[in-house]
Structure 1
Amino acid sequence: MPLRLAPTFAQALAGADRPLAGMWVCSGSPLVAEICAGAGLDWLLIDAEHSPNGLESILAQLQAISGYPAQALVRPPVNDPVLIKQYLDLGVQNLLIPMVDSVADARAAVAATRYPPEGVRGVGSALARAARWNRVPDYLATAGATVSVTVQIESTTAVDAVGDILAVDGVDAIFVGPSDLAASMGLLGRQEHPRVRTAVEHCLEAAATAGKPAGVNAFTPSTARSYLDSGASFILVGADVALLARGSEALAAAFIPAADDGTPGSY
Structure 2
Amino acid sequence: MSYNTAHTTTNANSRLRLLNKLKSGEFPLMTFMAISSVRMAQIVSLTGVDGIIVDCEHGNIGDDSMHNSVAAISALGVSPIIRVRGTSSDILKRALDTGAHGLMVPQVNTAEEAQQVVTYSKFPPQGLRGQGSAFPAIAHGLTTPEYMKSANETLITMIQIETAAGVENVDAICAVPGVDLIFIGPNDLAQSLLGYVPARGDEPVFKSAIEKIVAAAKKHGKWVGRLVNNGSLAKDAKNTFDTVAITGDTKAIQNWYMSEFDIARS
Q: Hey, what's the Cα distance between the residues in 1 that align with 2:211 and 2:227?
A: 13
Q: Are residue 235 (structure 1) and residue 241 (structure 2) matched?
A: no
Q: Distance in 2 between matches of 1:93 and 1:227?
A: 24
State whether residues 10 and 173 of structure 1, in contact with CA within 8 Å, keep that contact through their aligned partners in structure 2: no
Give, in whole Å, the separation in 1 of the partners of 2:88 and 2:182: 18
> What is aligned with 1:265?
none
Identity of matched residues, %: 26
Q: Within 5 Å, give how 1:203-242 maps onto structure 2.
A: 203-219=213-229, 223-229=233-239, 231-242=240-251
Amino acid at match of 1:159: V
The DSSP-based 3-state class of the residue aligned with 1:183 is: helix
**Cα 1:8–1:152 shift into 2, 3 Å:** farther
Contact 1:23/1:45 (CA < 8 Å) preserved in 2?
yes
| Paired AA for residue 242 in structure 2 | S
Query: TM-score if structure 1 supplies the norm length?
Result: 0.84
Q: Which blocks of at least 5 consecutive residues in structure 1 are unaligned? A: 258-267
Report the alpha carbon displacement of residue 22 of structure 1 after superposing the two structures with TM: 1.8
**Residues 1:39 and 2:47 are matched in the alignment:** yes
CA distance in 2, matches of 1:143, 1:255: 51
Task: Report deviation, 1:141.
Answer: 3.9
1:20-52 Cα distance to aligned partner (Å, 9 max, x none): 222111111121121111111222111111111
**CA offset digits 1:58-107 (Å, max 9, x no partner):** 11111221233332211011122101111111211211111111110110
Asked if the contact 2:194–2:206 (Cα under 8 Å) also holds between the matched residues in 1, the reply is no
Moved over 4 A (4+): 220-223, 254-257
* Structure 1 letter corresponding to 2:259: A
| Contact 1:176–1:217, Cα closer than 8 Å, also in 2 | yes
When the two chains are superposed, the root-mean-square deviation of aligned CA atoms in Å is 2.3
C-alpha contact 2:50 2:79 (8 A) present in aligned 1 = yes
**Distance across 2 between alignment mates of 1:9 and 1:164:** 26
2:9 is matched with none
Counterpart in the other structure of 2:197: 189
C-alpha change, 1:154 and 1:161, in structure 2 (3 Å) is same
Note if contact 1:22-1:41 (Cα within 8 Å) is conserved in structure 2: yes
Contact 2:45–2:73 (Cα < 8 Å) also in 1: yes
Structure with greater Cα Rg: 1
Question: Is the Cα–Cα contact under 8 Å of residues 79 and 101 in structure 2 kept in the other structure?
Answer: no
Determine if contact 2:45/2:78 at 8 Å carries over to the other structure: yes
